[in-house]
Amino acid sequence: MMRIVVHNTGVTVETAVVPTAVGAEVLVETLVVGVCGSDIHAAAGQHPFLQPPCLPRHEVVGIVRELGSDADGVLVGDRVTVEPTLPCGVCKMCVTDRSNLCESMRFFGCGYEQGVMADFFTSRPVASMSYPKG
Ligand SMILES: [Zn+2]
Ligand SMILES: [Zn+2]
Protein backbone atom coordinates (compact mmCIF):
# COMPACT_ATOMS: atom_id res chain seq x y z
CA MET A 1 0.00 0.00 0.00
CA MET A 2 0.95 3.68 -0.20
CA ARG A 3 1.01 6.12 2.69
CA ILE A 4 1.95 9.74 3.29
CA VAL A 5 4.88 10.51 5.58
CA VAL A 6 5.66 14.02 6.84
CA HIS A 7 9.40 14.69 7.13
CA ASN A 8 11.27 17.83 8.13
CA THR A 9 12.16 18.21 4.45
CA GLY A 10 8.61 17.82 3.13
CA VAL A 11 5.85 15.32 2.49
CA THR A 12 6.52 12.04 0.66
CA VAL A 13 4.39 9.15 -0.59
CA GLU A 14 5.98 5.84 0.46
CA THR A 15 5.19 2.15 0.19
CA ALA A 16 4.32 0.19 3.34
CA VAL A 17 2.97 -3.21 4.33
CA VAL A 18 -0.81 -3.41 4.82
CA PRO A 19 -1.31 -3.65 8.60
CA THR A 20 -3.04 -6.65 10.19
CA ALA A 21 -6.14 -6.23 12.37
CA VAL A 22 -5.23 -7.79 15.73
CA GLY A 23 -7.69 -8.61 18.51
CA ALA A 24 -10.37 -5.91 18.73
CA GLU A 25 -9.01 -3.95 15.76
CA VAL A 26 -10.47 -3.81 12.25
CA LEU A 27 -8.71 -3.20 8.93
CA VAL A 28 -10.11 -0.08 7.21
CA GLU A 29 -9.62 0.89 3.55
CA THR A 30 -9.38 4.67 3.34
CA LEU A 31 -11.94 6.44 1.14
CA VAL A 32 -11.35 10.11 1.90
CA VAL A 33 -9.22 12.07 4.35
CA GLY A 34 -9.19 15.63 5.59
CA VAL A 35 -6.31 17.78 6.69
CA CYS A 36 -6.52 18.71 10.37
CA GLY A 37 -5.13 22.06 11.46
CA SER A 38 -2.74 20.13 13.66
CA ASP A 39 -1.43 18.29 10.55
CA ILE A 40 -0.41 21.65 9.11
CA HIS A 41 1.32 22.62 12.35
CA ALA A 42 3.16 19.28 12.43
CA ALA A 43 4.34 19.61 8.81
CA ALA A 44 5.60 23.11 9.62
CA GLY A 45 7.47 21.82 12.68
CA GLN A 46 5.24 23.95 14.93
CA HIS A 47 3.23 21.27 16.75
CA PRO A 48 3.99 21.17 20.51
CA PHE A 49 4.36 17.37 20.77
CA LEU A 50 4.20 15.99 17.20
CA GLN A 51 7.49 16.19 15.35
CA PRO A 52 8.38 14.81 11.89
CA PRO A 53 8.77 12.16 10.72
CA CYS A 54 5.11 11.41 11.40
CA LEU A 55 2.15 9.66 9.83
CA PRO A 56 -0.82 12.00 9.42
CA ARG A 57 -3.50 11.52 11.03
CA HIS A 58 -7.14 11.13 12.01
CA GLU A 59 -9.69 12.90 9.77
CA VAL A 60 -11.05 10.01 7.66
CA VAL A 61 -13.92 7.98 6.25
CA GLY A 62 -13.22 4.40 5.19
CA ILE A 63 -14.70 0.94 4.66
CA VAL A 64 -14.13 -1.96 7.05
CA ARG A 65 -12.40 -4.73 5.08
CA GLU A 66 -11.37 -7.24 7.77
CA LEU A 67 -12.24 -7.90 11.40
CA GLY A 68 -9.77 -8.85 14.11
CA SER A 69 -10.59 -12.00 16.07
CA ASP A 70 -12.23 -10.00 18.90
CA ALA A 71 -13.66 -7.11 16.86
CA ASP A 72 -17.18 -6.07 17.83
CA GLY A 73 -19.68 -3.39 16.84
CA VAL A 74 -18.95 -3.12 13.09
CA LEU A 75 -19.19 -5.45 10.10
CA VAL A 76 -17.10 -5.88 6.95
CA GLY A 77 -18.40 -3.29 4.48
CA ASP A 78 -19.43 -0.70 7.11
CA ARG A 79 -18.47 2.90 6.43
CA VAL A 80 -16.58 4.21 9.44
CA THR A 81 -14.52 7.02 10.83
CA VAL A 82 -12.19 6.80 13.82
CA GLU A 83 -12.27 7.90 17.42
CA PRO A 84 -8.78 9.41 17.47
CA THR A 85 -8.31 9.23 21.21
CA LEU A 86 -6.67 6.01 22.40
CA PRO A 87 -7.24 5.75 26.17
CA CYS A 88 -5.21 3.12 28.01
CA GLY A 89 -8.21 1.31 29.48
CA VAL A 90 -6.49 0.54 32.80
CA CYS A 91 -5.84 3.82 34.63
CA LYS A 92 -8.10 5.18 37.38
CA MET A 93 -9.94 7.49 34.96
CA CYS A 94 -10.48 4.76 32.35
CA VAL A 95 -11.87 2.20 34.80
CA THR A 96 -14.31 4.77 36.21
CA ASP A 97 -15.85 5.58 32.80
CA ARG A 98 -13.87 8.80 32.37
CA SER A 99 -11.55 7.63 29.60
CA ASN A 100 -11.68 11.12 28.07
CA LEU A 101 -9.43 12.07 30.99
CA CYS A 102 -7.10 9.06 30.61
CA GLU A 103 -3.80 9.56 32.42
CA SER A 104 -1.89 7.93 29.53
CA MET A 105 -3.92 9.17 26.57
CA ARG A 106 -2.51 8.58 23.09
CA PHE A 107 -3.89 9.96 19.82
CA PHE A 108 -4.25 8.18 16.51
CA GLY A 109 -1.74 9.55 14.01
CA CYS A 110 0.12 11.55 16.65
CA GLY A 111 3.20 9.69 17.77
CA TYR A 112 1.21 6.55 16.97
CA GLU A 113 2.44 3.89 14.56
CA GLN A 114 -0.30 4.58 12.00
CA GLY A 115 -2.09 7.49 10.39
CA VAL A 116 -5.11 7.60 8.09
CA MET A 117 -3.36 9.10 5.04
CA ALA A 118 -2.70 5.58 3.80
CA ASP A 119 -4.56 3.07 1.63
CA PHE A 120 -5.29 1.00 4.76
CA PHE A 121 -5.02 1.35 8.53
CA THR A 122 -6.21 -0.58 11.57
CA SER A 123 -8.23 0.83 14.43
CA ARG A 124 -10.37 -0.33 17.32
CA PRO A 125 -13.98 0.48 16.45
CA VAL A 126 -16.41 2.16 18.80
CA ALA A 127 -20.18 2.02 18.44
CA SER A 128 -20.43 5.64 17.39
CA MET A 129 -17.99 5.25 14.50
CA SER A 130 -20.37 3.28 12.24
CA TYR A 131 -22.51 5.19 9.76
CA PRO A 132 -25.60 3.98 7.86
CA LYS A 133 -24.93 2.26 4.56
CA GLY A 134 -26.28 3.61 1.29
ZN1 LIG B 1 -8.09 16.79 13.80
ZN1 LIG C 1 -6.37 5.45 30.89
Q: What is the CATH number of the domain that holds 70?
A: 3.90.180.10
Specify if 3 maps to a domain.
no
Q: Tell me how far the alpha carbon of residue 83 lies from the centroid of ligand 1, in angstroms.
A: 10
* Whole-number pLDDT of residue 126: 59
Specify if 23 maps to a domain.
yes
Specify if 95 maps to a domain.
yes
CA distance 13 to 7: 11
Domain residues for 94?
16-34+57-129
Ligand showing the shortest atom-to-Cα distance for residue 89: 2
CA distance 6 to 41: 11
Q: Tell me how far the alpha carbon of residue 85 lies from the centroid of ligand 2, in angstroms.
A: 11
Specify if 42 maps to a domain.
no
Q: Tell me how far the alpha carbon of residue 122 lies from the centroid of ligand 1, in angstroms.
A: 18
Domain count, the chain: 1
What does the pLDDT look like over 18-75, one tens digit per residue? 999 999 889 999 999 999 888 888 888 888 877 788 888 888 999 999 999 999 888 9
- For residues 133 and 19, which has the higher predicted lDDT (pLDDT)? 19
